Amino acid sequence: MNEIEPLFNTLINKDGSDLHLEEGQKPKIRVFGTLVEIGDETLTRNKMISLLSPIAPKEDWLRFETQGDIDFAYSLGKQARFRANYYRHFFGLGAVFRLIPSKIRSLEELDLPSRIKDFAKWRTGLVLVTGPTGSGKSTTLAAIIDYINAHFAQKIITIEEPVEFTHANKKSIISHREVGKDTVSFASGLRTAIKSDANIILVGEMRDRETIELALTASEMGILVFGTLHTNSAAKTIDRIIDAFPPNRKNQIRTILANCLKAIIAQQLIPSVDKARRWAAYEILIRNQALGNIIQSGETVRLTNEIQTNRGLGMILMDDSLMELLKDKKITREDAFLKAIDKSKFT
């Protein structure tokens, strides 16, 4: 048994989401959004090496020693998988392990808005799931891909760093590709996927202009593309994509995005009133006749009114979702205020 495994078991048994290890600190886990110390031992350099080195692939550990940061996935037998990030900081070595549930939860189990199930039935276009780190983007995407896998015969390619949820083939064929191992970058993986007769491509992170442009190209070619961005609203997501390009290309990208964007799900996780769980709040934008014109004109400020007007179609603003959770006494006003876009509604 590796020395780190008791810490993993503590994380699992306490329903934690992340294990934090930093030289000079005691081990901590995040439980429903709050960091909690576990154990009394302050982590030394030798202790960190003895915890981290045995579970890292040899080539990754060598790269960590020279470059100072690595990402990889680690399996604790059949019990659980973890997304690992090793890094250096001012006082020494650090690592964070995100627990990846061994079972992919369904759309129903996640209590996702029912309209999201329809996204799995689309055959072309771009669907973006956005939110800060730890907001459940990967979990939402895994549930959508699992639904497609169970109901439709499609070829699905996922490009991730690292691969998190692994899907067994059901009706679909699913190929998982890991950046750094199976392909050198998200952009390189996308280029190959476009040529691989894929019906659906999942891009784990659209982090640079080249990747964004290739995702747009794939959706233009008739592929359904799912991707993620670190934005907290539909308007900011659209602006983020346009702003990734130089001024002389913005109009061209607006035209492409106006034609291919199908939906945006922005999500955040908020602690419950009793801190015993977390609730998800969503902003959902779904393509309608007005969306293309709004993107083309660059008037994303109009999206707020558009989403409010079309709530009957399954759209909702983040602040309205937060207000529903607050009225149902699921979250506190303080937490709603911290997550709100228009904070004046929660003062």
pLDDT tens digit string along 106-137?
A: 999 999 998 999 999 999 999 999 999 889 99
What was the pLDDT predicted at 230?
Answer: 94
Task: Take residue 153 and report the two structure tokens written for it.
Answer: 């015969």
Is residue 206 over pLDDT 80? yes
- CA–CA separation, 111 and 277 (whole Å): 14
Residue range(s) defining the domain that contains residue 202: 116-346
Q: What is the CATH number of the domain that holds 313?
A: 3.40.50.300
User: How many structural domains are present in the chain?
Assistant: 2
The answer to whether residue 79 scores a pLDDT higher than 90 is: no
- Whole-angstrom distance, CA of residue 89 vs CA of residue 77: 30
Q: What is the pLDDT of residue 267?
A: 97
Residue 257 domain-assigned? yes
Q: Which of these three, 43, 69, 100, is where a domain ends? A: 100
Tell me what pLDDT residue 276 has. Answer: 87
Query: For the domain that residue 95 is a member of, what is the CATH number?
Result: 3.30.450.90
Other beta carbons within 10 Å of 277: 13
Flag whether 110 is in a domain: no
Q: What is the mean pLDDT of residues 331-342?
A: 95
Residue where a domain terminates, one of 100, 133, 167: 100
Taking 90 as the threshold, does the pLDDT of residue 101 lie above it? no
Last residue of a domain, one of 100, 124, 146: 100
* Residue 103: predicted pLDDT: 85
Tokens standing for residue 31: 């439980």
Q: Are residues 47 and 194 in the same domain?
A: no
**pLDDT score recorded for residue 1:** 76
Going 139 to 141 to 144 to 150, the CA torsion angle's sign is negative
- What pLDDT shows up at residue 242? 97
What is residue 33's predicted lDDT score, i.e. its pLDDT? 85
pLDDT digits (tens, 9 = 90+) for 138-158: 999 999 999 999 999 999 999
Q: How confident is the model at residue 102 (pLDDT cuts 50, 70, 90)?
A: confident
Q: Are 53 and 164 members of one domain?
A: no
Does residue 106 lie within any of the structural domains? no
Amino acid 216: pLDDT: 97
Q: What is the pLDDT of residue 340?
A: 95
pLDDT score, position 347 = 84
Same domain, 191 and 53: no
Average pLDDT over residues 69-88: 91
Question: Domain check: are 93 and 129 in the same one?
Answer: no
Residue 157 inside a domain? The answer is yes
pLDDT band at 80 (very low <50, low <70, confident <90, very high): confident
The reply to whether 21 falls in a domain is yes
Confidence class for position 78, pLDDT limits 50, 70, 90: confident
Residues 68 and 120 in one domain: no
Question: Rounded mean pLDDT of the chain?
Answer: 95
Q: Residue 56: which pLDDT band, with cuts at 50, 70 and 90?
A: very high
Q: Indicate if 151 and 73 belong to the same structural domain.
A: no
The order of strands in the sheet holding 224-229 is 173-178, 155-160, 200-203, 224-229, 125-130, 261-271, 278-286
> Is 159 a domain residue?
yes
Q: What is the arithmetic mean of pLDDT over 231-235?
A: 94
Residue 111 lies in a domain: no
Share of the chain above pLDDT 90, in %: 91
- Cα angle value 33/35/39 (rounded, 5°): 145
The answer to whether residues 164 and 45 belong to one domain is no
The mean per-residue pLDDT over the stretch 289-306 comes to 94
Average pLDDT over residues 162-170: 93
Whether residues 206 and 285 fall in one domain: yes
Residues sharing a CB contact under 8 Å with residue 297, sequence separation 6 or more, in sequence order: none
